Protein backbone atom coordinates (compact mmCIF):
# COMPACT_ATOMS: atom_id res chain seq x y z
CA UNK A 1 0.00 0.00 0.00
CA UNK A 2 1.25 3.45 -0.98
CA UNK A 3 0.83 5.12 2.39
CA UNK A 4 1.47 2.20 4.74
CA UNK A 5 2.62 3.52 8.11
CA UNK A 6 2.33 7.18 7.12
CA UNK A 7 0.63 9.66 9.43
CA UNK A 8 -1.25 12.41 7.67
CA UNK A 9 -3.12 15.58 8.59
CA UNK A 10 -6.03 16.21 6.25
CA UNK A 11 -7.74 19.60 6.35
CA UNK A 12 -10.85 20.71 4.48
CA UNK A 13 -13.41 17.92 4.92
CA UNK A 14 -16.76 19.71 5.01
CA UNK A 15 -18.94 16.93 3.60
CA UNK A 16 -18.56 13.88 1.40
CA UNK A 17 -18.44 16.06 -1.72
CA UNK A 18 -15.25 17.72 -0.41
CA UNK A 19 -12.10 16.90 -2.37
CA UNK A 20 -10.43 16.29 1.01
CA UNK A 21 -13.01 13.59 1.83
CA UNK A 22 -11.95 11.62 -1.26
CA UNK A 23 -8.30 12.08 -0.28
CA UNK A 24 -9.03 10.92 3.29
CA UNK A 25 -10.84 7.81 2.08
CA UNK A 26 -8.18 6.88 -0.44
CA UNK A 27 -5.36 7.61 2.04
CA UNK A 28 -6.92 5.20 4.54
CA UNK A 29 -7.38 2.59 1.83
CA UNK A 30 -3.66 2.99 1.06
CA UNK A 31 -2.72 2.34 4.68
CA UNK A 32 -2.36 5.85 6.15
CA UNK A 33 -3.30 6.82 9.67
CA UNK A 34 -5.04 10.19 9.47
CA UNK A 35 -6.53 12.99 11.51
CA UNK A 36 -8.91 15.53 10.02
CA UNK A 37 -9.11 19.18 10.97
CA UNK A 38 -12.12 21.46 10.91
CA UNK A 39 -13.24 24.66 12.57
CA UNK A 40 -16.03 26.57 14.32
CA UNK A 41 -19.57 25.44 13.64
CA UNK A 42 -18.35 23.11 10.88
CA UNK A 43 -16.52 20.90 13.43
CA UNK A 44 -19.64 18.93 14.33
CA UNK A 45 -20.49 18.43 10.64
CA UNK A 46 -16.96 17.16 9.89
CA UNK A 47 -17.18 14.79 12.89
CA UNK A 48 -20.41 13.36 11.48
CA UNK A 49 -18.92 12.94 8.00
CA UNK A 50 -15.74 11.38 9.44
CA UNK A 51 -17.85 8.46 10.68
CA UNK A 52 -18.48 7.46 7.06
CA UNK A 53 -14.77 6.91 6.38
CA UNK A 54 -13.45 3.33 6.39
CA UNK A 55 -11.85 3.94 9.82
CA UNK A 56 -13.41 7.02 11.51
CA UNK A 57 -10.56 9.43 12.36
CA UNK A 58 -10.38 12.08 15.08
CA UNK A 59 -11.22 15.63 14.06
CA UNK A 60 -9.00 18.34 15.56
CA UNK A 61 -9.78 22.05 15.61
CA UNK A 62 -8.00 24.33 13.14
CA UNK A 63 -9.20 27.70 11.96
CA UNK A 64 -6.26 28.52 9.71
CA UNK A 65 -6.56 32.23 10.42
CA UNK A 66 -5.96 31.71 14.17
CA UNK A 67 -2.25 31.34 15.09
CA UNK A 68 -3.18 29.77 18.46
CA UNK A 69 -4.94 26.92 16.62
CA UNK A 70 -1.79 26.14 14.62
CA UNK A 71 0.24 26.01 17.81
CA UNK A 72 -2.31 23.79 19.58
CA UNK A 73 -2.51 21.44 16.58
CA UNK A 74 1.27 20.99 16.48
CA UNK A 75 1.37 20.36 20.24
CA UNK A 76 -1.45 17.81 20.00
CA UNK A 77 0.23 15.96 17.10
CA UNK A 78 3.63 15.98 18.84
CA UNK A 79 2.01 14.23 21.83
CA UNK A 80 -0.14 11.89 19.75
CA UNK A 81 2.26 10.78 17.02
CA UNK A 82 5.63 12.47 17.64
CA UNK A 83 5.93 13.13 13.93
CA UNK A 84 3.81 13.85 10.84
CA UNK A 85 4.56 12.43 7.37
CA UNK A 86 2.28 14.62 5.32
CA UNK A 87 -0.38 17.30 5.28
CA UNK A 88 -3.14 18.11 2.82
CA UNK A 89 -4.14 21.77 2.58
CA UNK A 90 -7.67 21.73 1.11
CA UNK A 91 -8.87 25.13 2.25
CA UNK A 92 -10.27 28.01 0.32
CA UNK A 93 -12.58 30.87 1.20
CA UNK A 94 -13.41 34.29 -0.24
CA UNK A 95 -16.18 36.62 0.97
CA UNK A 96 -19.06 37.05 -1.50
CA UNK A 97 -17.90 40.60 -2.27
CA UNK A 98 -14.63 39.18 -3.64
CA UNK A 99 -16.38 36.93 -6.17
CA UNK A 100 -18.83 37.10 -9.02
CA UNK A 101 -17.80 40.07 -11.15
CA UNK A 102 -17.26 42.65 -8.39
CA UNK A 103 -13.50 42.65 -9.00
CA UNK A 104 -13.00 46.39 -9.50
CA UNK A 105 -15.02 47.32 -6.41
CA UNK A 106 -13.83 44.72 -3.88
CA UNK A 107 -12.49 46.28 -0.65
CA UNK A 108 -9.09 45.30 0.75
CA UNK A 109 -10.61 43.75 3.88
CA UNK A 110 -12.41 41.15 1.72
CA UNK A 111 -9.32 40.55 -0.42
CA UNK A 112 -7.23 40.19 2.75
CA UNK A 113 -9.57 37.50 4.09
CA UNK A 114 -9.42 35.56 0.80
CA UNK A 115 -5.63 35.70 0.66
CA UNK A 116 -5.12 34.91 4.34
CA UNK A 117 -7.45 31.89 4.43
CA UNK A 118 -6.70 30.54 0.95
CA UNK A 119 -2.96 31.22 0.47
CA UNK A 120 -1.11 32.47 3.56
CA UNK A 121 -2.59 29.53 5.47
CA UNK A 122 -0.43 27.12 3.43
CA UNK A 123 2.60 28.83 4.97
CA UNK A 124 1.05 28.84 8.47
CA UNK A 125 0.21 25.14 8.28
CA UNK A 126 3.53 24.04 6.76
CA UNK A 127 5.63 26.09 9.18
CA UNK A 128 3.73 24.95 12.29
CA UNK A 129 4.03 21.26 11.32
CA UNK A 130 7.53 21.35 9.77
CA UNK A 131 9.27 20.68 13.12
CA UNK A 132 7.37 17.37 13.24
CA UNK A 133 8.26 16.41 9.67
CA UNK A 134 11.25 14.21 8.78
CA UNK A 135 13.00 14.17 5.38
CA UNK A 136 10.65 12.58 2.83
CA UNK A 137 7.56 14.30 4.27
CA UNK A 138 5.12 16.01 1.94
CA UNK A 139 2.87 19.06 1.92
CA UNK A 140 0.14 19.07 -0.75
CA UNK A 141 -2.28 21.90 -1.54
CA UNK A 142 -5.22 22.24 -3.92
CA UNK A 143 -5.09 24.82 -6.67
CA UNK A 144 -7.34 26.10 -9.42
CA UNK A 145 -5.07 27.12 -12.31
CA UNK A 146 -4.21 30.79 -11.72
CA UNK A 147 -2.38 31.37 -15.01
CA UNK A 148 -5.46 33.02 -16.53
CA UNK A 149 -8.47 35.13 -15.42
CA UNK A 150 -11.72 33.17 -15.01
CA UNK A 151 -15.30 34.45 -15.07
CA UNK A 152 -16.56 35.13 -11.52
CA UNK A 153 -13.49 33.69 -9.75
CA UNK A 154 -12.05 37.19 -9.27
CA UNK A 155 -10.08 37.66 -6.02
CA UNK A 156 -10.15 33.91 -5.36
CA UNK A 157 -8.11 33.66 -8.57
CA UNK A 158 -5.66 36.20 -7.15
CA UNK A 159 -5.53 34.17 -3.92
CA UNK A 160 -4.78 31.02 -5.95
CA UNK A 161 -1.95 32.86 -7.75
CA UNK A 162 -0.61 33.72 -4.29
CA UNK A 163 -1.00 30.07 -3.25
CA UNK A 164 1.02 28.95 -6.28
CA UNK A 165 3.82 31.37 -5.48
CA UNK A 166 3.66 30.54 -1.76
CA UNK A 167 4.12 26.84 -2.56
CA UNK A 168 7.26 27.61 -4.56
CA UNK A 169 8.79 29.69 -1.74
CA UNK A 170 7.89 27.00 0.80
CA UNK A 171 9.50 24.41 -1.47
CA UNK A 172 12.65 26.57 -1.46
CA UNK A 173 12.74 27.06 2.30
CA UNK A 174 11.63 23.58 3.44
CA UNK A 175 13.56 21.65 0.77
CA UNK A 176 16.78 21.63 2.80
CA UNK A 177 14.80 19.75 5.51
CA UNK A 178 13.73 17.20 2.90
CA UNK A 179 10.11 18.40 2.94
CA UNK A 180 8.38 18.52 -0.46
CA UNK A 181 5.68 21.12 -1.21
CA UNK A 182 3.45 20.63 -4.25
CA UNK A 183 0.02 21.62 -5.56
CA UNK A 184 -2.60 19.72 -7.48
CA UNK A 185 -4.45 22.01 -9.91
CA UNK A 186 -7.86 20.39 -10.13
CA UNK A 187 -10.53 20.80 -12.75
CA UNK A 188 -13.95 21.90 -11.45
CA UNK A 189 -15.55 19.60 -8.86
CA UNK A 190 -19.07 20.28 -7.60
CA UNK A 191 -18.32 20.99 -3.91
CA UNK A 192 -19.74 23.51 -1.45
CA UNK A 193 -16.83 25.91 -2.08
CA UNK A 194 -17.29 25.62 -5.85
CA UNK A 195 -21.04 26.19 -5.65
CA UNK A 196 -20.43 29.44 -3.74
CA UNK A 197 -18.72 30.89 -6.83
CA UNK A 198 -21.29 32.70 -8.98
CA UNK A 199 -21.19 31.28 -12.52
CA UNK A 200 -19.35 28.08 -11.53
CA UNK A 201 -21.60 26.22 -13.94
CA UNK A 202 -19.84 28.07 -16.80
CA UNK A 203 -16.66 26.14 -15.96
CA UNK A 204 -18.63 22.92 -15.82
CA UNK A 205 -20.13 23.56 -19.25
CA UNK A 206 -16.85 24.20 -21.08
CA UNK A 207 -14.63 21.70 -19.24
CA UNK A 208 -15.95 18.38 -20.38
CA UNK A 209 -16.00 19.52 -24.02
CA UNK A 210 -12.47 20.90 -24.07
CA UNK A 211 -10.62 18.41 -21.85
CA UNK A 212 -9.25 15.71 -24.18
CA UNK A 213 -9.78 13.06 -21.49
CA UNK A 214 -13.23 14.39 -20.60
CA UNK A 215 -14.15 15.55 -17.11
CA UNK A 216 -16.75 14.59 -14.49
CA UNK A 217 -17.49 17.41 -12.02
CA UNK A 218 -19.00 14.88 -9.60
CA UNK A 219 -15.89 12.71 -9.33
CA UNK A 220 -13.05 13.91 -7.09
CA UNK A 221 -11.29 10.54 -7.22
CA UNK A 222 -8.71 11.46 -9.94
CA UNK A 223 -7.71 14.53 -7.92
CA UNK A 224 -7.50 12.44 -4.73
CA UNK A 225 -5.27 9.89 -6.46
CA UNK A 226 -2.78 12.60 -7.43
CA UNK A 227 -2.79 13.96 -3.86
CA UNK A 228 -2.16 10.46 -2.47
CA UNK A 229 0.69 9.92 -4.95
CA UNK A 230 2.31 13.19 -3.86
CA UNK A 231 1.82 12.30 -0.18
CA UNK A 232 3.52 8.94 -0.80
CA UNK A 233 7.19 8.44 -1.66
CA UNK A 234 6.45 8.04 -5.38
CA UNK A 235 7.64 11.62 -6.10
CA UNK A 236 10.81 11.84 -3.98
CA UNK A 237 12.52 14.50 -6.12
CA UNK A 238 9.51 16.68 -6.99
CA UNK A 239 8.85 19.95 -5.18
CA UNK A 240 7.54 23.41 -6.05
CA UNK A 241 5.48 21.68 -8.74
CA UNK A 242 1.88 22.12 -9.89
CA UNK A 243 0.36 18.92 -11.22
CA UNK A 244 -2.74 19.47 -13.31
CA UNK A 245 -5.52 16.95 -12.80
CA UNK A 246 -8.05 18.47 -15.15
CA UNK A 247 -8.55 15.99 -17.97
CA UNK A 248 -5.90 17.90 -19.97
CA UNK A 249 -7.96 21.14 -20.18
CA UNK A 250 -5.02 23.42 -19.31
CA UNK A 251 -2.97 22.20 -22.29
CA UNK A 252 -5.61 22.98 -24.95
CA UNK A 253 -5.87 26.32 -26.78
CA UNK A 254 -9.58 25.98 -27.49
N1 LIG B 1 -14.12 22.29 -6.24
C2 LIG B 1 -13.36 22.74 -7.23
O3 LIG B 1 -13.79 22.89 -8.38
C4 LIG B 1 -11.91 23.03 -6.95
C5 LIG B 1 -11.02 23.12 -8.03
C6 LIG B 1 -9.69 23.41 -7.78
C7 LIG B 1 -9.26 23.62 -6.48
N8 LIG B 1 -10.16 23.54 -5.44
C9 LIG B 1 -9.67 23.78 -4.09
O10 LIG B 1 -9.85 22.62 -3.32
C11 LIG B 1 -9.82 22.99 -1.95
C12 LIG B 1 -10.96 22.28 -1.23
O13 LIG B 1 -12.19 22.81 -1.66
P14 LIG B 1 -13.45 21.92 -2.08
O15 LIG B 1 -13.76 22.29 -3.48
O16 LIG B 1 -13.25 20.52 -1.70
O17 LIG B 1 -14.64 22.58 -1.23
P18 LIG B 1 -15.16 22.37 0.28
O19 LIG B 1 -16.16 23.46 0.48
O20 LIG B 1 -15.61 20.98 0.48
O21 LIG B 1 -13.85 22.63 1.15
C22 LIG B 1 -13.40 23.91 1.51
C23 LIG B 1 -12.90 23.78 2.93
O24 LIG B 1 -12.27 24.97 3.39
C25 LIG B 1 -12.50 25.01 4.78
N26 LIG B 1 -12.22 26.33 5.35
C27 LIG B 1 -12.71 27.53 4.94
N28 LIG B 1 -12.25 28.50 5.77
C29 LIG B 1 -11.45 27.89 6.69
C30 LIG B 1 -10.70 28.34 7.80
N31 LIG B 1 -10.65 29.65 8.15
N32 LIG B 1 -10.00 27.43 8.54
C33 LIG B 1 -10.03 26.13 8.22
N34 LIG B 1 -10.73 25.62 7.18
C35 LIG B 1 -11.44 26.51 6.43
C36 LIG B 1 -13.96 24.62 4.91
O37 LIG B 1 -14.26 24.19 6.22
C38 LIG B 1 -14.04 23.47 3.91
O39 LIG B 1 -13.81 22.24 4.57
C40 LIG B 1 -9.89 24.51 -1.92
O41 LIG B 1 -8.58 25.04 -1.78
C42 LIG B 1 -10.41 24.84 -3.31
O43 LIG B 1 -10.08 26.14 -3.74
C44 LIG B 1 -11.46 23.24 -5.66
What's the pLDDT score for residue 201? 87
195 in catalytic set: no
**Ligand 1 pocket member 10 (CB < 6 A):** no
Closest CA to 90 of 51, 38, 130, 129: 38
CA distance 225 to 134: 23
Look at residue 132 and tell me whether its pLDDT is greater than 90. Answer: yes
**Ligand 1 pocket member 133 (CB < 6 A):** no
Catalytically annotated residue among 120, 123, 153, 225: 153
Whose Cα sits closest to atom 17 in ligand 1? 193
160 in catalytic set: yes
| pLDDT band at residue 93 using 50, 70 and 90 as cut-offs | very high
pLDDT in tens, 25-35: 999 999 999 99
- For residue 156, give the ligand 1 atom closest to its CA: 43
Look at residue 219 and tell me whether its pLDDT is greater than 90. Answer: yes
Mean pLDDT of 119-131: 98
Mean pLDDT of 111-132: 98
What count of Cα atoms within 13 Å lies in the side-chain half-sphere of residue 204? 14
What's the pLDDT score for residue 203? 86
pLDDT in tens, 168-200: 999 999 999 999 999 999 999 999 999 999 988
Amino acid sequence: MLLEGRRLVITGVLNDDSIAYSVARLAQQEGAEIVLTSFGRILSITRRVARRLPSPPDVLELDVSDPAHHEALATELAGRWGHVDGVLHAIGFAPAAALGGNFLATEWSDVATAVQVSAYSLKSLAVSLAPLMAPGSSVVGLDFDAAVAWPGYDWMGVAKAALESCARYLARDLGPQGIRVNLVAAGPIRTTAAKSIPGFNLFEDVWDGRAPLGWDVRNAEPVAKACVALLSDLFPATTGEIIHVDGGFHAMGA
